[in-house]
Amino acid sequence: MRYRSFGRTGWQVSEIGFGAWQLGGDWGKADDRTSIDTLHYAFDQGINFVDTAELYGNGHSETVIGQALKQWKVGKIYVATKARPVVWPSPADDAPQMRGRFPEWYLRDNIEKSLRRLGVERIDMFQLHSFMPSALVELDWLETLMKLRREGKIDRIGVSLRDNRPDEGVDLSEAGLVDSIQVIFNLFEQRPRQRLFPVGKNTRTAFIARVPLDSGSLTGSWSKDTYASWEAGSQPHSMFRGERFSQTLERVEALKVLCRPYFSTLAEAAMRFVLSEPELSTLIPGMRNRTEVDLNIAYCDGQPFPPDLKDKLQDHIWVRNYYK
Protein backbone atom coordinates (compact mmCIF):
# COMPACT_ATOMS: atom_id res chain seq x y z
CA MET A 1 0.00 0.00 0.00
CA ARG A 2 1.15 3.54 -0.77
CA TYR A 3 0.20 6.52 1.38
CA ARG A 4 -0.43 10.18 0.65
CA SER A 5 -0.67 13.34 2.70
CA PHE A 6 -4.27 14.18 3.51
CA GLY A 7 -4.08 17.89 2.78
CA ARG A 8 -2.95 19.99 5.72
CA THR A 9 -4.21 17.58 8.42
CA GLY A 10 -0.88 15.82 8.92
CA TRP A 11 -2.53 12.46 8.24
CA GLN A 12 -0.96 9.85 6.00
CA VAL A 13 -3.79 7.92 4.38
CA SER A 14 -3.84 4.97 2.02
CA GLU A 15 -4.24 6.11 -1.57
CA ILE A 16 -6.96 3.49 -1.88
CA GLY A 17 -9.65 4.08 0.73
CA PHE A 18 -12.74 2.02 1.49
CA GLY A 19 -16.03 3.33 0.13
CA ALA A 20 -18.65 1.88 2.47
CA TRP A 21 -22.01 2.72 0.90
CA GLN A 22 -22.59 -0.90 -0.12
CA LEU A 23 -22.29 -2.05 3.50
CA GLY A 24 -25.63 -0.41 4.23
CA GLY A 25 -27.51 -2.69 1.83
CA ASP A 26 -28.56 -0.02 -0.67
CA TRP A 27 -26.64 -1.73 -3.48
CA GLY A 28 -28.24 -5.09 -2.82
CA LYS A 29 -28.29 -7.40 0.17
CA ALA A 30 -25.14 -7.32 2.26
CA ASP A 31 -24.16 -9.86 4.88
CA ASP A 32 -22.74 -8.08 7.93
CA ARG A 33 -20.28 -10.84 8.76
CA THR A 34 -18.88 -10.72 5.24
CA SER A 35 -18.73 -6.92 5.41
CA ILE A 36 -16.78 -6.98 8.67
CA ASP A 37 -14.43 -9.63 7.30
CA THR A 38 -13.88 -7.49 4.19
CA LEU A 39 -13.11 -4.41 6.29
CA HIS A 40 -10.62 -6.33 8.43
CA TYR A 41 -8.98 -7.79 5.34
CA ALA A 42 -8.72 -4.30 3.83
CA PHE A 43 -7.15 -3.00 7.04
CA ASP A 44 -4.68 -5.90 6.97
CA GLN A 45 -3.64 -4.85 3.45
CA GLY A 46 -2.89 -1.32 4.64
CA ILE A 47 -6.14 0.52 3.88
CA ASN A 48 -6.58 3.02 6.72
CA PHE A 49 -9.32 5.36 5.43
CA VAL A 50 -13.05 4.51 5.38
CA ASP A 51 -15.79 6.75 4.01
CA THR A 52 -19.41 6.31 5.07
CA ALA A 53 -22.56 8.35 5.84
CA GLU A 54 -25.72 8.17 7.90
CA LEU A 55 -27.55 8.03 4.57
CA TYR A 56 -26.04 4.64 3.73
CA GLY A 57 -28.62 2.14 4.88
CA ASN A 58 -30.02 4.72 7.30
CA GLY A 59 -26.97 4.35 9.50
CA HIS A 60 -26.37 0.63 8.99
CA SER A 61 -23.07 1.18 7.17
CA GLU A 62 -21.81 3.16 10.17
CA THR A 63 -22.99 0.40 12.53
CA VAL A 64 -21.10 -2.28 10.60
CA ILE A 65 -17.96 -0.15 10.54
CA GLY A 66 -18.32 0.40 14.27
CA GLN A 67 -18.43 -3.35 14.85
CA ALA A 68 -15.32 -3.83 12.71
CA LEU A 69 -13.45 -1.05 14.53
CA LYS A 70 -14.33 -2.53 17.91
CA GLN A 71 -12.57 -5.75 16.91
CA TRP A 72 -9.58 -4.01 15.28
CA LYS A 73 -6.61 -3.38 17.56
CA VAL A 74 -3.74 -2.71 15.12
CA GLY A 75 -3.09 0.82 13.86
CA LYS A 76 -5.19 3.92 13.27
CA ILE A 77 -8.18 3.77 10.92
CA TYR A 78 -9.44 7.18 9.81
CA VAL A 79 -13.23 7.29 9.48
CA ALA A 80 -15.07 9.93 7.48
CA THR A 81 -18.85 10.18 7.66
CA LYS A 82 -21.49 12.64 6.47
CA ALA A 83 -24.86 14.21 7.21
CA ARG A 84 -27.37 14.94 4.47
CA PRO A 85 -29.14 18.33 4.41
CA VAL A 86 -32.56 18.74 5.99
CA VAL A 87 -33.86 19.35 2.47
CA TRP A 88 -31.84 18.30 -0.58
CA PRO A 89 -31.34 21.05 -3.16
CA SER A 90 -32.86 20.41 -6.57
CA PRO A 91 -30.23 19.03 -9.00
CA ALA A 92 -31.48 21.64 -11.49
CA ASP A 93 -31.01 24.58 -9.10
CA ASP A 94 -27.87 26.50 -10.06
CA ALA A 95 -27.87 28.67 -6.94
CA PRO A 96 -29.53 26.89 -4.00
CA GLN A 97 -29.49 28.52 -0.58
CA MET A 98 -27.22 26.88 1.98
CA ARG A 99 -28.53 28.68 5.06
CA GLY A 100 -30.89 26.51 7.09
CA ARG A 101 -30.04 23.22 5.41
CA PHE A 102 -27.75 22.14 8.27
CA PRO A 103 -29.17 23.79 11.44
CA GLU A 104 -27.24 23.37 14.67
CA TRP A 105 -29.78 21.09 16.37
CA TYR A 106 -29.75 18.84 13.32
CA LEU A 107 -25.97 18.58 13.02
CA ARG A 108 -25.62 17.90 16.73
CA ASP A 109 -28.21 15.14 16.53
CA ASN A 110 -26.53 13.59 13.49
CA ILE A 111 -23.09 13.67 15.04
CA GLU A 112 -24.25 12.12 18.32
CA LYS A 113 -25.96 9.30 16.46
CA SER A 114 -22.94 8.71 14.22
CA LEU A 115 -20.65 8.62 17.27
CA ARG A 116 -22.83 5.93 18.85
CA ARG A 117 -23.09 3.84 15.69
CA LEU A 118 -19.35 4.05 14.99
CA GLY A 119 -18.48 3.45 18.64
CA VAL A 120 -15.90 6.25 18.72
CA GLU A 121 -15.42 9.30 20.93
CA ARG A 122 -14.55 11.62 18.06
CA ILE A 123 -15.25 11.53 14.33
CA ASP A 124 -12.04 11.97 12.32
CA MET A 125 -13.65 13.66 9.30
CA PHE A 126 -17.20 14.98 9.33
CA GLN A 127 -18.57 16.00 5.94
CA LEU A 128 -21.65 17.78 4.71
CA HIS A 129 -23.41 15.62 2.17
CA SER A 130 -24.07 18.28 -0.51
CA PHE A 131 -22.49 21.71 -0.71
CA MET A 132 -23.89 24.94 -2.11
CA PRO A 133 -21.66 27.89 -3.09
CA SER A 134 -23.82 30.32 -1.08
CA ALA A 135 -22.21 28.65 1.95
CA LEU A 136 -19.22 30.94 1.41
CA VAL A 137 -21.29 33.83 2.81
CA GLU A 138 -23.98 31.87 4.71
CA LEU A 139 -21.66 30.49 7.37
CA ASP A 140 -24.08 29.06 9.92
CA TRP A 141 -22.97 25.52 8.99
CA LEU A 142 -19.29 26.32 9.61
CA GLU A 143 -19.95 28.09 12.89
CA THR A 144 -21.76 25.00 14.19
CA LEU A 145 -19.07 22.59 13.02
CA MET A 146 -16.34 24.71 14.57
CA LYS A 147 -18.23 24.59 17.89
CA LEU A 148 -18.45 20.82 17.66
CA ARG A 149 -14.77 20.63 16.84
CA ARG A 150 -13.88 22.67 19.92
CA GLU A 151 -16.08 20.34 21.97
CA GLY A 152 -14.09 17.36 20.71
CA LYS A 153 -16.96 15.72 18.82
CA ILE A 154 -15.23 15.98 15.44
CA ASP A 155 -11.62 16.45 14.37
CA ARG A 156 -11.71 17.72 10.77
CA ILE A 157 -14.37 19.27 8.52
CA GLY A 158 -15.13 18.38 4.91
CA VAL A 159 -17.80 18.63 2.25
CA SER A 160 -19.04 16.34 -0.49
CA LEU A 161 -19.83 18.25 -3.68
CA ARG A 162 -23.02 17.83 -5.66
CA ASP A 163 -22.72 15.01 -8.16
CA ASN A 164 -22.22 16.79 -11.48
CA ARG A 165 -20.95 20.15 -10.22
CA PRO A 166 -17.23 19.90 -9.41
CA ASP A 167 -16.65 23.61 -10.00
CA GLU A 168 -18.87 24.44 -7.02
CA GLY A 169 -15.88 23.57 -4.87
CA VAL A 170 -13.37 25.88 -6.56
CA ASP A 171 -14.02 29.02 -4.48
CA LEU A 172 -14.36 26.94 -1.32
CA SER A 173 -11.00 25.31 -1.97
CA GLU A 174 -9.39 28.66 -2.71
CA ALA A 175 -10.75 30.06 0.57
CA GLY A 176 -9.43 27.08 2.52
CA LEU A 177 -12.51 26.90 4.75
CA VAL A 178 -12.60 23.11 4.97
CA ASP A 179 -9.97 20.41 5.28
CA SER A 180 -11.29 18.12 2.55
CA ILE A 181 -13.50 18.11 -0.52
CA GLN A 182 -15.06 14.96 -1.91
CA VAL A 183 -15.87 14.92 -5.63
CA ILE A 184 -16.74 12.50 -8.42
CA PHE A 185 -13.61 11.86 -10.48
CA ASN A 186 -13.25 9.10 -13.07
CA LEU A 187 -12.80 8.51 -16.81
CA PHE A 188 -16.19 10.10 -17.53
CA GLU A 189 -16.01 12.94 -15.00
CA GLN A 190 -12.58 14.46 -15.57
CA ARG A 191 -13.43 18.11 -14.97
CA PRO A 192 -11.94 18.35 -11.43
CA ARG A 193 -8.49 18.26 -13.08
CA GLN A 194 -9.22 21.49 -14.91
CA ARG A 195 -9.94 23.92 -12.05
CA LEU A 196 -10.68 22.28 -8.71
CA PHE A 197 -7.48 20.30 -8.11
CA PRO A 198 -5.07 23.06 -9.20
CA VAL A 199 -6.69 25.56 -6.83
CA GLY A 200 -6.62 23.11 -3.94
CA LYS A 201 -2.90 22.63 -4.35
CA ASN A 202 -2.29 26.19 -3.14
CA THR A 203 -4.42 25.80 0.02
CA ARG A 204 -3.37 22.19 0.68
CA THR A 205 -6.98 21.01 0.57
CA ALA A 206 -7.37 17.22 0.67
CA PHE A 207 -9.37 15.70 -2.17
CA ILE A 208 -11.33 12.45 -1.98
CA ALA A 209 -12.36 10.89 -5.31
CA ARG A 210 -15.62 8.98 -5.16
CA VAL A 211 -17.01 6.48 -7.71
CA PRO A 212 -13.63 6.04 -9.49
CA LEU A 213 -15.22 3.07 -11.27
CA ASP A 214 -18.46 4.96 -12.06
CA SER A 215 -20.51 2.79 -9.72
CA GLY A 216 -19.34 -0.34 -11.49
CA SER A 217 -19.54 0.55 -15.18
CA LEU A 218 -15.80 1.16 -15.51
CA THR A 219 -14.92 -2.28 -14.20
CA GLY A 220 -15.58 -3.33 -17.78
CA SER A 221 -17.43 -6.43 -16.60
CA TRP A 222 -20.94 -5.39 -17.62
CA SER A 223 -22.86 -7.07 -20.43
CA LYS A 224 -26.27 -6.38 -21.94
CA ASP A 225 -27.75 -8.80 -19.34
CA THR A 226 -26.23 -7.14 -16.27
CA TYR A 227 -29.12 -4.78 -15.53
CA ALA A 228 -31.59 -7.68 -15.23
CA SER A 229 -29.40 -9.25 -12.53
CA TRP A 230 -29.71 -6.30 -10.16
CA GLU A 231 -32.15 -6.35 -7.28
CA ALA A 232 -35.24 -4.22 -7.95
CA GLY A 233 -35.13 -1.06 -5.86
CA SER A 234 -31.37 -1.23 -5.33
CA GLN A 235 -29.17 1.78 -6.03
CA PRO A 236 -27.74 0.52 -9.36
CA HIS A 237 -31.17 -0.65 -10.54
CA SER A 238 -32.54 2.84 -9.98
CA MET A 239 -29.47 4.76 -11.12
CA PHE A 240 -29.13 3.06 -14.50
CA ARG A 241 -32.85 2.76 -15.27
CA GLY A 242 -34.38 3.19 -18.72
CA GLU A 243 -31.91 4.04 -21.47
CA ARG A 244 -29.21 4.99 -18.97
CA PHE A 245 -27.81 1.48 -18.85
CA SER A 246 -27.51 1.05 -22.62
CA GLN A 247 -26.03 4.55 -23.02
CA THR A 248 -23.43 3.80 -20.36
CA LEU A 249 -22.58 0.40 -21.81
CA GLU A 250 -22.06 1.91 -25.27
CA ARG A 251 -19.60 4.47 -23.90
CA VAL A 252 -17.83 1.83 -21.82
CA GLU A 253 -17.26 -0.31 -24.89
CA ALA A 254 -15.67 2.67 -26.66
CA LEU A 255 -13.33 3.17 -23.70
CA LYS A 256 -12.36 -0.49 -23.77
CA VAL A 257 -11.23 -0.15 -27.36
CA LEU A 258 -9.22 2.98 -26.59
CA CYS A 259 -7.51 1.58 -23.48
CA ARG A 260 -6.85 -1.96 -24.72
CA PRO A 261 -3.37 -1.21 -26.21
CA TYR A 262 -2.26 0.22 -22.84
CA PHE A 263 -3.92 -1.90 -20.14
CA SER A 264 -5.19 -5.45 -19.85
CA THR A 265 -8.56 -4.35 -18.40
CA LEU A 266 -10.69 -1.21 -18.36
CA ALA A 267 -10.74 -1.40 -14.55
CA GLU A 268 -6.96 -1.05 -14.48
CA ALA A 269 -7.10 1.97 -16.81
CA ALA A 270 -9.84 3.57 -14.71
CA MET A 271 -8.08 3.10 -11.38
CA ARG A 272 -4.66 4.13 -12.65
CA PHE A 273 -6.15 7.24 -14.26
CA VAL A 274 -7.54 8.42 -10.92
CA LEU A 275 -4.40 7.45 -9.02
CA SER A 276 -2.28 9.44 -11.47
CA GLU A 277 -3.73 12.73 -10.19
CA PRO A 278 -1.07 14.09 -7.79
CA GLU A 279 -3.42 16.43 -5.92
CA LEU A 280 -5.68 13.57 -4.89
CA SER A 281 -5.33 12.23 -1.34
CA THR A 282 -7.38 9.05 -1.68
CA LEU A 283 -10.01 7.36 -3.83
CA ILE A 284 -12.83 5.35 -2.34
CA PRO A 285 -14.12 2.46 -4.48
CA GLY A 286 -16.75 0.24 -2.96
CA MET A 287 -15.68 -3.25 -1.92
CA ARG A 288 -17.92 -6.17 -1.02
CA ASN A 289 -15.42 -8.96 -0.43
CA ARG A 290 -11.73 -9.85 -0.21
CA THR A 291 -11.43 -10.40 -3.95
CA GLU A 292 -12.58 -6.85 -4.68
CA VAL A 293 -10.11 -5.51 -2.13
CA ASP A 294 -7.29 -7.35 -3.90
CA LEU A 295 -8.42 -6.08 -7.30
CA ASN A 296 -8.41 -2.47 -6.15
CA ILE A 297 -5.13 -2.41 -4.26
CA ALA A 298 -3.29 -4.16 -7.11
CA TYR A 299 -2.74 -0.78 -8.74
CA CYS A 300 -0.91 0.83 -5.79
CA ASP A 301 2.53 0.60 -7.35
CA GLY A 302 3.17 4.15 -8.54
CA GLN A 303 3.16 3.18 -12.21
CA PRO A 304 2.88 6.34 -14.37
CA PHE A 305 -0.16 6.81 -16.59
CA PRO A 306 0.56 7.11 -20.34
CA PRO A 307 0.37 10.86 -21.20
CA ASP A 308 -0.86 10.21 -24.73
CA LEU A 309 -3.73 8.07 -23.45
CA LYS A 310 -4.67 10.76 -20.93
CA ASP A 311 -4.92 13.24 -23.80
CA LYS A 312 -7.12 10.89 -25.83
CA LEU A 313 -9.41 10.26 -22.86
CA GLN A 314 -10.48 13.90 -22.81
CA ASP A 315 -12.73 13.12 -25.77
CA HIS A 316 -14.69 10.75 -23.50
CA ILE A 317 -15.69 13.27 -20.83
CA TRP A 318 -19.40 12.69 -20.23
CA VAL A 319 -21.32 15.21 -18.14
CA ARG A 320 -24.49 13.70 -16.71
CA ASN A 321 -26.13 13.14 -13.34
CA TYR A 322 -27.30 9.59 -12.80
CA TYR A 323 -26.86 9.84 -9.03
CA LYS A 324 -29.87 12.07 -8.34
| CATH numbers and ranges of domains, the chain | 3-316 (3.20.20.100)
- Asked if 18 and 47 count as a contact pair (C-beta separation under 8 A), the reply is yes
Closest CA to 246 of 228, 268, 264: 228
pTM reported for the whole predicted model: 0.95
Task: Check residue 76 and report its DSSP letter.
Answer: -
Q: Is the pLDDT of residue 61 over 90?
A: yes
Q: Among 212-221, 296-305, 315-324, whose mean pLDDT is lowest?
A: 315-324
Q: Is the pLDDT of residue 118 over 70?
A: yes
45, 247, 293, 310 from 240: Cα distances, Å: 32, 9, 24, 26
296 band by pLDDT with thresholds 50, 70 and 90:
very high
Q: How far apart are CA 80 and CA 19, in angstroms?
A: 10
User: How do residues 266-279 score in pLDDT, each as one tens digit?
Assistant: 999 999 999 999 99
